[in-house]
Copies of this chain bind each other. A is one copy, B any other.
Amino acid sequence: MSTPDSPHDLPTFADIEDAARHIAAACIVTPLLESAVINARVGGRVLVKAEGLQRTGSFKMRGAYNRMRLLSADELARGVVAYSSGNHGQAVAATARLLGTTATVVMPADAPRTKADKTRALGAEVVFYDRQRDDRVAIGRRLAEERGLTMVPPFENRFVMAGAGTVALETVRQAEAMGASIDVLIACCSGGGLAAGCGLVMRALVPHGEMFAAEPVGFDDTARSLAAGHRVSNAPGAISICDSVLAPTPGELTFEINREHLTGALSVTDDEVIEAMRTAFRDLGLVAEPGGSVALAAVLAGRLPLEGRTVAVTLSGSNIDLASALRWMGA
C-alpha cells in the first residue's frame, strides 16, 4: 500500500494540483515579477517567481507542509526530524508549529547563521553536523529511530516534490494572466525536487516548452548525471557560496523524473550568481540568497538564447546573512 512515506512513489501532475489546494492553508501565492530593465538587457521577457517572499523565505514551505499535513495523530504526538541546508529546516519548523508538533533539524555547522537562528526561533531543536565529514542522512535516521520521530525528507518524497511543483503551477497560471506564455522554465536545482515538480507541470501544461535545472559550477551533478544516463556525484572539495544547493548527488526519485522531463541543466559561477543577486536587489526589489539565484544567473549570463522568448525562473529563497550579502554584493 502507498503511504506518505513510501520510498518509491513518484508524484503525478494530479498530486501537484492536489497539493496546491492543501498548501493554501499555510503558504502564500508568491508574485511573478518582471522588470523592464531586465527584459531590455536579455532581449526577451523574464518572469521571476519570487519564492523568497514565501513563508519562511523559500519554496521549501510548500513541500514540507504538503508532506506534514498527512502526519497521523500518533506521528504528530511524537514529532518530526529533517536534515536540511537550512531552508527545508525552517519550513519543517514552521509547519511543526502550525500543526502543533515538534521538530528537530539537522543542519550543517557552516549554514548561514540566519537559517539556524530562524529555525530555532520557530521552536525547533537544531543539531549541527560537519558538511565535509558527517552523513546528514544517517544522523537524521538515527535521531528518527532513537526518538521515534518521523523523517520529513527535503526532496525524496512524493508529497514533498508535489508541493514543490506548485511553484510551476502558479507560475504558468500567473504568466497566462499576464498575457505571457512560457517558452522556458528554469528551476534552481540541488537534490532536484523543485526541478522534478516543475518538470511535471511543464509536461502537463506547456508540453512544447523547455525545462532546465540550474546548478553551481562544481555542483553540476544533475548536468553530469543527465550526460552519463545515471546518477553521478560531485567531486569532493568543490566550494561555492550557494549553500542551499550543494547536495552531492541527485535524488533517486527526483532523477527518475528529471531524466525524462529536463531539456538540460545549466551551470553558473559564483560571480554570475552575485550579479544575479545584485540584479534582483536593484531591478526587482528582492533579496535573493546565492543558491536561490542560480536560475536567474543562468539567464543573465546568457546560457540560453532568449531573443523574443519568455523565460520563467525560480528565485527560490531569500535567507542570507546580511553581512554576507553586503560582502558579496559590495565586492
Contact = CB atoms under 8 A, between A and B. Distances in A.
Contacts of A55: 36
A282 B52 CA distance: 11
A238 interface: no
Interface stretch (A133-141, A264-272, A321-329): A321-329
A118 interface: yes
Contact of A53 (B57, B281, B286): B286
In the A-B complex, list the 3 residue pairs whose CB atoms are closest, starting with the nearest.
Answer: A285-B318, A52-B285, A285-B287
A220 to B, nearest CB: 27
Contacts of A284: 53
Interface residues of A, number: 31
Interface of A: 28, 30-31, 33, 36-37, 40, 50, 52-53, 55, 57, 94, 114, 118, 121-122, 278, 281-282, 284-287, 318, 322-323, 325-326, 329-330
A57 B285 contact: yes
A126 to B, nearest CB: 16
Given A287-B286, A287-B287, A322-B282, A33 B28 contact: yes
29 contacts: A28-B33, A30-B31, A31-B31, A31-B53, A33-B53, A36-B94, A36-B121, A36-B122, A37-B121, A40-B121, A50-B285, A52-B285, A53-B285, A53-B286, A57-B285, A114-B282, A281-B287, A281-B322, A281-B325, A282-B322, A285-B286, A285-B287, A285-B318, A286-B286, A286-B287, A287-B287, A323-B330, A326-B326, A330-B330
